Structure 1
Amino acid sequence: MHRRIAAFAIAAALAGCAAEPPAPELVIGLRNPTVAFGGTSRFSAERFAGAWETVACLGSCVKSERYVQATEGVYLRRTGDVETPFLISAPGVLREMGGDDRLVVMWVDEGFRTAAIGDADGRWAAILNRNRKPARDRIKAATEILDFNGWDVSKLRVVK
């Protein structure tokens, strides 16, 4: 009798496990969302301001962009004819004013010539440079930073 009850209890427990919905599948697109990342402490609004060329990117990127310091703590990001205001919420973290976009400057070299930047949602990332002829060592460093921050650098493409 006890064996029947024990067998029934085990069968009921197994049936209960099978009835639970499966855990949601983790979809990894351009960036692994389980990897934490943040802005570089080296970020300086004054030094980051100016024109940048996109030399490599993931996702949908623009060929060039410009950052203009509008006021203390407010940046304007210009891409083509579009100008978007951002608040500097932390070193290297720019939050769109009146929107949901968040740009993260993950790395910039000491001379502010090359940078690794991406959006917090993992839709795009880019290696920016002040001109179209970046130094290989800085591109390598920016690529390593993107990889370290969870980006799929195998999908990184050169922008000409």
Structure 2
Amino acid sequence: MKSPVSENVSVTRLGLRAAMGAMAMFLVGCTAEPLPEIEIGLRNPTVPLGGTSRFEAGRFAGDWQTVRCLGECERSVTYQVATDGVFLRRAGDTLTAYSVPAPGILREMGGDSTLVVMWVDEGFRTAAVGDADGRWAAVLGRSRKTAPDRVKAATEILDFNGWDIAKMQVVK
């Protein structure tokens, strides 16, 4: 005569085997479909992105030349303080108004674009700027002949903020 304990063990083993078989079938079914491809683009969105605390709208205002670029960048851009809380960016024929809710963060007024000034040198001669959505980023200089050490520093900041600097192009 079997003891009740040995019957329970046999039932448990059968239940475990059935559960493992069902799990194996489930996993086979899951792997039959290819996983969707994830496109990182120009910036890894899992890396935190922040504006520089050094940002001052009045000092940042003026003409800038794009020295290095990721994505589609304008050759030159102009930033201008319009009124309290409104900052303008002219890129080509496009004039866009932004608010500045935090240092280095420019939010398009009436739109959904956000620009991030990630770094600017002490003299406001070189900057690392990018679109928060990861569509483009640029190293900007007050002239095309920006000092190599500042270009390198701005490039390193872009890299730190998740940009794929291997795709960076020199703008002439």
1:151 pairs with 2:163:
yes
Q: Please point out which of 12, 21, 39 is paired with 1:11.
A: 21
- Where is the helix percentage greater, Structure 1 or Structure 2? 2
Aligned to 2:7: none
Deviation at 1:17, TM superposition (A): 4.0
- What is the SS of the residue equivalent to 2:23? helix
Aligned 1:44-59 pairs, distance under 5 A:
44-59=56-71
Aligned length in residues: 160
- Aligned partners of 1:15 and 1:72: how far apart in 2? 63
Deviation at 1:72, TM superposition (A): 1.4
The AA in structure 2 aligned to 1:12 is A
| Aligned amino acid, residue 44 of structure 1 | E
Q: Which amino acid aligns with 1:35?
A: V
Q: Which amino acid in 2 is paired with 1:48?
A: F
Matches of 1:48 and 1:128, distance apart in 2: 11
- Residue identity over aligned pairs, in percent, reads 63
How much has 1:24 moved relative to structure 2? 5.2
Paired residue type of 1:104: V
Q: Distance in 1 between matches of 2:85 and 2:143?
A: 26
2 CA distance for matches of 1:23 and 1:112? 46
1:69-110 deviations in Å (ceiling 9; x for gaps) = 001121110012210000001100000001010000000000
| Structure 1 counterpart of 2:144 | 132
Q: Distance in 1 between matches of 2:35 and 2:108?
A: 33
What SS does the corresponding residue of 1:137 show, helix, strand or coil?
helix
Alignment of 1:9-158 (within 5 A): 9-19=19-29, 25-158=37-170
Paired AA for residue 62 in structure 1: E
Q: For 2:94 and 2:63, how far apart are their aligned partners in 1? A: 14
TM-score, reference length from structure 1 = 0.94
Q: What do the CA deviations read for 1:42-93 (whole angstroms, capped 9, x no partner)?
A: 0000000000000110000000000010011211100122100000011000
For 1:11, the aligned partner's letter is G
CA distance in structure 2 between the aligned counterparts of 1:24 and 1:145, rounded to whole angstroms: 31
SS of the residue 1:26 aligns to:
coil
Structure 2 residue identity aligned to 1:141: A
Q: Which amino acid aligns with 1:69?
A: V
- Report what 2:3 is aligned to: none
Q: Which 5+ residue runs of structure 2 have no aligned equivalent? A: 1-9
